[in-house]
Structure 1
């Protein structure tokens, strides 16, 4: 009994001390905005699931043995980052051999395109001149012997030998002359085109092998998180076999099923309030990104996806995770009068959402007391959100400084803002 009495006394002392400290500190400075009244469509809550906007089940384009698998489930990966590396020793040797062959083909083409060297032309000219001299000599010798043959001074064998040597000298001269002309003109255009074709064919072969090397490195197509592993180092994977699964969570979709009599009120681009029970102290706002025009014929419901911008926490993980339960409030009825407050006025985390209304002092409108008012939250409209509770249009609710207030605490209004005022500091979205 004495122990319980002591606890009560200690608590009383603590409360008195806390009130004394608050009184010593004076009224808390706050920024306020008015409660506004507008016509809004009535809303209804639909249960949904948080889904990634992109999901890729990545397979191997080629068969091979896994040499490296540097990622684990839960890791964040950048676009084009390797997920797995297959062995490439043999194919790299083939690439090296084909590249050497390509260099040979290129040098052959270069040799043809450069034409004959000056020394080669000079040598061909010298051979042609020597052949001309020999041809002229044999022609003169033939004429002289033919003159002698007419006078019966030489026999038939001698004249036949001279004629043969003269013809041979003429042919040699024509051959040397043609060789010199070819040396001057260089390779034929058709030969150069053939060499270019051989280079192109070899280049295509090298590109094909290098493409195979690239395919041995399995990469992720976008920034995201690894959510499944389907292989391990040392395992053999066949072409098309799964390696890993990656999802993108910089934005997420909340997928809900909307009844057919409600879906006509839903429009693409309209703002939607989303609650995630796992994160009770935060209200999310997204936009309708997709209305699938095909109903589930058994339930007569249409899939609707609300897209939200996700927040990456300081430890690098996404705040909204795939598979989380969510509730989206969609407008499903006719226009009706509603009270709206700034989203920043909501104080979450307790049994029910609430806002702090400033009841002004009789002698000073800038000072007053903070009164906690429990509310029910409805549909969203930009920076405003529908609330139901003991509120009236024109009342001032705290939108900055409310996170540290206590019911009945003295406050001083430091700033009066518009209901749709942007917050001073926003959560930073970090993509990885």
Structure 2
């Protein structure tokens, strides 16, 4: 990773912040809906334009049309597709709603969960087993928060469906009806003075932000990303592990159920943090998360989480020379956690480049930290042949390698 010091880019330089070029060559590569993917040629990484970084996480979707990253989603083709979808009633799409919703839920955990690991699958499926009915999703009469979350999930997963329910719809428009229902529920929630924040509302907003970010840093995507950061702070997630970090940086909770529940909260925090890093860095706007005041552990692997295997973790140190050591000698060696640390270096580098006064020491510390971090990566990151495997960890490994390239 190489930090340019030739000067800052600003609106005064004639650059539109919504369409700005990245400050690092690889700055946008980590986003899971970007339009490039990395290929390995022996020991070298290089870009080869194909449709979507989702292919890293799930190579089986090759050939499926993916959403485009562009400043505007209002192309003529999109308008025609949306009009076509609108003309088809929800009744036609949901002749057997329970079967369809079960199918979309399965798709979410197969296609979306690997790169947006928000939910504890065993617990979620048990909790929502009886809520996959048409009335719950359409009217949200029985449980608005459940309907909000399910609609947001299906808005993301529907594009991967081969069900006849979506016959005639191009993949990127299949989730539009679920998106509209989710946004209607969110609007009703926000307009109700008695409705407060909740983890489910935050999770739903994160998924909606991801949906909109797949079309670029649009105003709607930017506002939803900001809402996620505010909700995370309102829920107190930034101090979730404050007492634990004071006692020991690697000490899991005693209760298994509490650990599973707290891990879900950590997933929400880090997913919102990741979205904020992406949107703010690309648009060169202020970050929504304070990097110096969060006491929350980095996430463990889905495998350990789902099985209830309590792995001790550590919080993210924020100064460069401490950040690279965040997971060194920690029981948690999750590829996802290491990826988040590498993403933190993107923010640190961006902040250095935007600084009004950049000292040689600051630059040397940053470059040293990135170099040491690369050397500290666990052995799983050395397995180049396994990068394009079916395991979720392969995506985090690939994106980490992309971020660390000069």
Give the TM-score normalised by structure 2: 0.18
Q: Which has the higher helix share?
A: 2
Higher strand share: 1
Structure scoring higher RCO (CA < 8 A, sep ≥ 6) equals 1
